[in-house]
Structure formats: structure tokens, C-alpha cells
Structure 1
Amino acid sequence: MTSRFAVSGLTKTYGTNVVVDHLDLDIEHGEFLVLLGPSGCGKTTTLRCLAGLETPEGGSIAFRDDRVFDAATKVNVPAHKRNIGMVFQSYALWPHMTVRENIQYPLKVRKLKQAIADGAVDSAAGMVDCGGLLDRYPSQLSGGQQQRVAVARGLVAQPDLVLFDEPLSNLDARLRDQVRSQIHQLHQNLGFTAVFVTHDQAEAFALGDRLAIMKSGKIEQYDEPEFVFENPVSEYVAAFIGMGNRLELRRGHDGWITSADDVVDLSDAVVRDRADEGKTAVARFRPDDVSLHDSMADVPAGNIALHAELVTYEYGGRYFDVTVKTGVEQLSLRANATRHSAALRASRPGDPLVVSFSPSSLRVYTDSVPDSADAPRDLATTGGRS
């Protein structure tokens, strides 16, 4: 299928700072594309360029077969003529307007009187369970209600493209999950084309038909969520999508060796490139791929086992979030509370224990540098996808 929306060579700078760097994107009709990355990677600026709220210095943007921006030919269609819907992080509802007037606003700007007469506002409000709020003002709504109204306003005019700028980040955890599910259901039912910006990997995996993971204004990986989850192309991507555990390895005569001088068999691991003796590599894996044991005798056959010591643990109901140290590195894991509660509560920091994991859970990068500054370890959430 030919892409309905295409971005080519998009470049945006602020002074000498290149925020979006010759970026290419193709967005299919009906696709929900997620731009995922940390603060400062250029994802929101890319979204604002699509919306016409920022003017790039280079490249082009096409909606269907029409160029809405082209630096070479000086085409720059203003935002109000691009037929987009926008859902902001801050809701951005007009405080002096009722919910009905807020949702109706895009229809009035586009002079779609027939849509108003046909009940488009009531229909949009009903889609997000806000039909009973139409006569209220934003100040009379909760944060979740305001964001649902903002979603209705973004969809009411049936725009060519709906842009979401981190719309869930101001909501508490329970409301965030509810509104996320509602957006997902709306997309399944209506089939609108969307670009969604977030730094949250759980949102990205739940919503995206494809993910574009951004780094320093460029796309590091662009693929379906399942492929990104299983095959992160770089250590940066692996760290960002939940592989928070990191082992530095060096290639010795007998194989790969950890900082604790344990020999690790990587014959069943996913190794992106070969490395000769004396070279280094980094293994990435998820906390929920790691098991906790009392001794080496408990390690399943075929697993990689490491001697470690307890750093700390936190109770989470049915599990404990456990941090251990092996060599110079700390690893995170989730231990079943029923099985490990007694032993953990009797333990003290520094007590010896054993951890293990399947070599197939590892993703090994031989082009990484020790303690890579590019890898956003603090943003990887425990447990991978959730």
C-alpha cells in the first residue's frame, strides 16, 4: 500500500541545535504510529511540524498526494488548513466554553454546519462517555474527563490525521490506563490515522501498529511492536523497551566473561555481530527473564547462572522487586512472593544468592561501549512490556 502520509528529509533546528535530523516517515491510511523516545529526542517537534505549528528548515511533508510543506519549493500550508485533529498533553480546553462548545469548535472553524446539525458533537461525546457532561465547563471536570473531551474534539471533524502529544502523561495511573484503552478502542472502531508521541513504552506497545523509536532527532528503529520487542536493533533501543539489565562482557580465550569473572555461554543468545578475543560486548535482558535461587543446584539446566549478593528488595503484592549485585553491575528481577517471601525477609544486604536466566533472553551488542551513555537505563521499566 502506498503511504498516505509521507515525511522526507525533515530537518528542524533551534539555533545551532539540530532537533530533527533529516527524518523520514511513512504513515499508512488507518495506521496508529507511535513516536517513542526520551525527552529531547525530537518526537514532539516532529509532531508539531506535522501539525504546522513549527516550520522546518528542510524536507517535505505530504498528506495524501498533496504537499503541505516543502522547503525546496517554499510550500507551507498553515495549520488550520491541514485538516488535522490535535490532542494535547495539557488538554487545552477553552475554559469559557462548555464541553459542547469545546467539542464543536473544530466544526465551527471548518464551517461544517451540516455536521453540527446532524449531531456530530453528541456522537463524538458519546464515543468517549462524555454525553452527560456537555453543559459543564472544563473547571467542573476531572482530569480524565477533560482529556476525554479533548479526544472527542480531536476526532469530531473526522480529520485526515489525528496527532496526540503525550495525552496521558498528566493523568494518574488508573485513569491513564482507562483513557489509553478508550483511545485504542476508538481507533479499532473508527480506523482513523494517528501519530502518538510518548516516552512510555507500555503506551507504545499497547497502542502502536508501528513504533518509531527516536534518538537525537533520528529514528533508531521503525517497526511493528512485536518485532521491536523481540529484536531491538541497538542497545539504546533494548534499554528503552524494557531490557533494563545490563552485563558488560569481554571476549576471552574460553568465551565471554563477566565483570565478576564468570564465563558465560552465549551460543544460544542473540548476538548481533561477532567479536574477536579481547573485544567487549554488552548483554541486555529484562527483569522478568531473571530467576532467583538459593543455590547453584536449583538452577535449571541450560540457564546461565551467576553468583550475586542482595542489594535490596521491595514488596509488590504477588512479587518482590529485587536488586542484586554481580561484579560491578546491579541486576533487577521479580521474585514470586509465595516462593521467596520467607527467604528474602530473613536476608540482609550483602547476603549471597544465585540468579539465572536463559541465554535466549539475551540480546548482545558488540558495538556498544562500556557503560554506554546513550542507553537510557533509567527509563526502562521493570517487567518489560507492562
Structure 2
Amino acid sequence: MTSKFTVSGLTKTYGANIVVDQLDLTIEEGEFLVLLGPSGCGKTTTLRCLAGLETPQGGSIAFKDRPVFDAATRANVPAHKRNIGMVFQSYALWPHMTVRDNIRYPLKVRKMKEAVGEGAVEAAADMVDCGALLDRYPAQLSGGQQQRVAVARGLVARPDLVLFDEPLSNLDARLRDQVRSQIHQLHQRLGFTAVFVTHDQAEAFALGDRLAIMKSGKIEQYDEPERVFENPVSDYVAAFIGMSNRLSLRRDHDGWATAAGDSIDLTHAVIRDSADEHTTAVARLRPDDVLLHATADEVPLGNVVLHAGLVTYEYGGRYFDVTVETGGEQLILRAPAAQHSAALRGSAPGAPLVVSFSPAALRVFAAPDGAPVTAPEPVAVGAGGHA
């Protein structure tokens, strides 16, 4: 049976402020779990509790069935005895040590002299393409090089659990993509167990075997990336994973309509409660799912048509990011530059536009609490991982 890392009823408070609220997690050995959420949602505090850097007020934590914290029995294994690797946002390299000594430090603390003699430091440095930097000091390295050294240090002792605290947020976009890809490749090759904290949905989808989207110290959704992407369980999750367009819907005698009065066909949806209980709803969709048209005649058959006004547009090379307004609500869409450049550059704010989207792109939630109103078709997730 596969060993697991379990968190049960974890609670952490600062005074009257509940930061982690009765949180439960199960992490399979070899799994890459991503804690995703905005600042203040409790994700970093959860990570620090796993590391032993914070002491919770309630709950328990076990690594491979070995308790490392239990509020009921007052068990609390100190951080240096939990056999973890830690990769921090700020690199946290010792400035007076060479790269070699920084990577070797976890082996020294654990008194793993044999691993040092067998070339573990050099092997870890080579894993992250830093083998030629072993005799340099951190001040002589770029940000990307420093973070790769930090990753090597976190992995060199083959810890039970590797914890990443927003390790890419201090890097520029190009380096962020490179280091992210390197971490993903290392996980595929070494199969270490990891918990990765981020507020970036692209990082979460690229790296995670499972995602835990957090809100106010609780987990809003805990699932595989594909299922989170296709079937967000709440308006909060939908907004956070990229469904930034929000439309208010109201029920009338003919069905559902937007705030602007445009009809929307939701007959594909399953309404959980009786029609009398839901007269308003919230629809979410992604910018990529909204199409711009020169005229209503270009709208694909079956699409919902919205009559809107231009707010602004921004050139992005092969596309324009276009903001439109309909019924007092703004939508963002991406329009191919080759097709729409002339029309957009000749339009002033307020110019009438026609946009559309497929009803299948919508995820609809009850207003105002965001509880699901529709039950989208489940997505088949293959056993071979994800992109």
C-alpha cells in the first residue's frame, strides 16, 4: 500500500484571525500537490505548518503514517527532524558559502558523509544545470541560477517531502518558465513528493498532479487539473482559474437573459433546485471562448449573440485583447489581429460590436453565494498525466 502524507483538521490562528480552518489533505507518495489561491487564503501558512515552522492550534499531520504533529497528544516533531526539503521564494542561500557548500548543507546537518563522498552534491548541481557554478558565491549568480541552486539543495538529501514556497515569483517571465519546466522534469525523473504554493494558475496547471484551491483557510476544490479547469465547483474557483468573464443572468418567462436583455439558452444545463428558488444566476466563461464578429451574420449557428460596445483594445502581436461592455458588464476577449486589426483601429470607444460564445463554454452558478446551479458533463482524465 502506498504511503501517504495526511493532514487532518488542521487549524492555525493568529489571535482572533483564523488562517487555516479545519483543513484536511491527503498527499500520495510521489504526488506533486499545488496549493493555489490569492494572498491571505492560508496556503503559505499551511506549508509552514507542514514544515514545522509554525505550530497549529488544532489537528494533526503525519508523514508516511509517522505523526509529526498532533494537537491532542501535543506531539510536535521539530522542523530539522521532519526530513523535508524546502525551496523558498527568496532563495535563502547562505551568502558566505559557495554553491557547493550551500547544496552540501542538508547532507552536513543530517551527517550523511557517505552521500557527500559518493558525489551527491555534484549530481544535484548537474540535475539543475549548475555543475559549473559550484565554486561561485550566490552574489555571483543570476536570480535564475540562485533558484536552481536552491532546488538542488532542497533535493540533495532525498527528503520525504519537498516544500516549495512560491519559488518562481521573484523571477522574470522567461526565467520563470525555464525553472518551472526544470522542476517539472525533475519531478518526472525523480518522483519526489512535493507541495508547491503559488497564486499563479499557469504554474498550478503545469506542475500539479492535483490542485487544492484555497479560500479563507479552507479548500474550495481539491481535484486533478483537468477537472478543475473544466468543472470548477464554485464561482470563486471559476474566477481564479481563468474564467474572468462574468455575466449576471435573470430568469424571465422565456428562459434566461443577460443584464442587457440578450437571451441565453441554458437547456443543456441541469438545474439542481426548483425553478422557483433560482431567479438569478452567475455565468462564467474564459476570454478565449468569446468571439468578435463584424456583423451578426458571422455568428456560428447555436452561439449566444451579445450586442456590446467597445471599451478599449490592446495590441498583443498576433491578437488584440479587447474589452467590451454589455448591460453594464465588461467582457474581455482575444481577437486575431490578422482578422480584426483594421476594424478595431478604426473604432472609437463606444462603437457597437457583436460578440458571441457557445453555451457549452458557460459555467453557471447560483447568485449570490456562487453554489453550483449547473452540473457540467464530467471530463475524462487519462491515466498518463497532463500537459
- Normalising by structure 2, we get a TM-score of 0.94
Counterparts of 2:274 and 2:297, CA distance in 1: 32
Q: Aligned ranges for residues 1-386 of structure 1 at < 5 Å?
A: 2=2, 4-269=4-269, 275-276=275-276, 279-369=279-369
Counterparts of 1:332 and 1:273, CA distance in 2: 31
Per the alignment, in what secondary structure is the counterpart of residue 139 of structure 1? helix
- Quickly say closer, same or farther: Cα 1:157–1:273, change in 2 above 3 A: farther
- Alpha-carbon distance, 1:3 to partner: 5.0
Per the alignment, in what secondary structure is the counterpart of residue 90 of structure 2? coil
For structure 1, which runs of at least 5 residues remain unmatched after alignment?
371-384
2:196 is aligned with what amino acid? Answer: F
Give the root-mean-square deviation of aligned CA atoms: 1.5
- Quickly say closer, same or farther: Cα 1:248–1:369, change in 2 above 3 A: farther
Per the alignment, in what secondary structure is the counterpart of residue 170 of structure 2? coil
Per the alignment, in what secondary structure is the counterpart of residue 276 of structure 2? coil
Are 2:61 and 2:69, in contact at CA under 8 Å, matched by a contact in 1?
A: yes
- Quickly say closer, same or farther: Cα 1:272–1:53, change in 2 above 3 A: farther
Per the alignment, in what secondary structure is the counterpart of residue 53 of structure 2? coil
1:331 is aligned with what amino acid? Answer: L
- Alpha-carbon distance, 1:268 to partner: 2.7
- Alpha-carbon distance, 1:264 to partner: 1.2
1:196 is aligned with what amino acid? Answer: F
For structure 2, which runs of at least 5 residues remain unmatched after alignment?
371-385
- Alpha-carbon distance, 1:366 to partner: 1.3
Are 1:321 and 1:335, in contact at CA under 8 Å, matched by a contact in 2?
A: yes
- Alpha-carbon distance, 1:294 to partner: 1.4
1:336 is aligned with what amino acid? Answer: P
> Corresponding residue for 2:374?
none
Per the alignment, in what secondary structure is the counterpart of residue 239 of structure 2? helix
- Normalising by structure 1, we get a TM-score of 0.94
2:230 is aligned with what amino acid? Answer: E
Counterparts of 1:357 and 1:72, CA distance in 2: 53
Counterparts of 2:125 and 2:341, CA distance in 1: 48
- Quickly say closer, same or farther: Cα 1:225–1:79, change in 2 above 3 A: same
Per the alignment, in what secondary structure is the counterpart of residue 276 of structure 1? helix
- Quickly say closer, same or farther: Cα 1:337–1:92, change in 2 above 3 A: same
- Alpha-carbon distance, 1:263 to partner: 1.6
Are 1:282 and 1:365, in contact at CA under 8 Å, matched by a contact in 2?
A: yes
Aligned length: 372
Moved over 6 A (4+): none
2:56 is aligned with what amino acid? Answer: P
1:10 is aligned with what amino acid? Answer: L
- Quickly say closer, same or farther: Cα 1:271–1:129, change in 2 above 3 A: farther
- Alpha-carbon distance, 1:271 to partner: 5.7
Are 1:269 and 1:359, in contact at CA under 8 Å, matched by a contact in 2?
A: no
Per the alignment, in what secondary structure is the counterpart of residue 33 of structure 1? strand
Are 2:3 and 2:65, in contact at CA under 8 Å, matched by a contact in 1?
A: no
Counterparts of 2:287 and 2:184, CA distance in 1: 27
Deviations 1:354-381 (A, max 9, x none): 00000000000014359xxxxxxxxxxx
Per the alignment, in what secondary structure is the counterpart of residue 189 of structure 2? helix
> Corresponding residue for 1:381?
none
- Quickly say closer, same or farther: Cα 1:136–1:78, change in 2 above 3 A: same
Deviations 1:225-260 (A, max 9, x none): 000000000000000000000000111111111111
Are 1:41 and 1:217, in contact at CA under 8 Å, matched by a contact in 2?
A: yes
- Quickly say closer, same or farther: Cα 1:264–1:274, change in 2 above 3 A: farther
Are 1:270 and 1:364, in contact at CA under 8 Å, matched by a contact in 2?
A: no
Deviations 1:85-108 (A, max 9, x none): 000000000000000000000000
2:240 is aligned with what amino acid? Answer: F
Q: Between the two proteins, what is the percent identity of the paired residues? A: 80
Per the alignment, in what secondary structure is the counterpart of residue 314 of structure 2? strand
Counterparts of 2:278 and 2:196, CA distance in 1: 43
Per the alignment, in what secondary structure is the counterpart of residue 348 of structure 1? coil
Deviations 1:18-37 (A, max 9, x none): 00000000000100000000
1:227 is aligned with what amino acid? Answer: R
1:146 is aligned with what amino acid? Answer: Q
Counterparts of 2:165 and 2:287, CA distance in 1: 29
Counterparts of 1:285 and 1:32, CA distance in 2: 28
Per the alignment, in what secondary structure is the counterpart of residue 38 of structure 1? coil
Are 1:270 and 1:363, in contact at CA under 8 Å, matched by a contact in 2?
A: no
- Quickly say closer, same or farther: Cα 1:222–1:332, change in 2 above 3 A: same
1:311 is aligned with what amino acid? Answer: V
Are 1:210 and 1:225, in contact at CA under 8 Å, matched by a contact in 2?
A: yes
Are 2:283 and 2:363, in contact at CA under 8 Å, matched by a contact in 1?
A: yes
- Quickly say closer, same or farther: Cα 1:58–1:153, change in 2 above 3 A: same
Counterparts of 2:139 and 2:273, CA distance in 1: 56
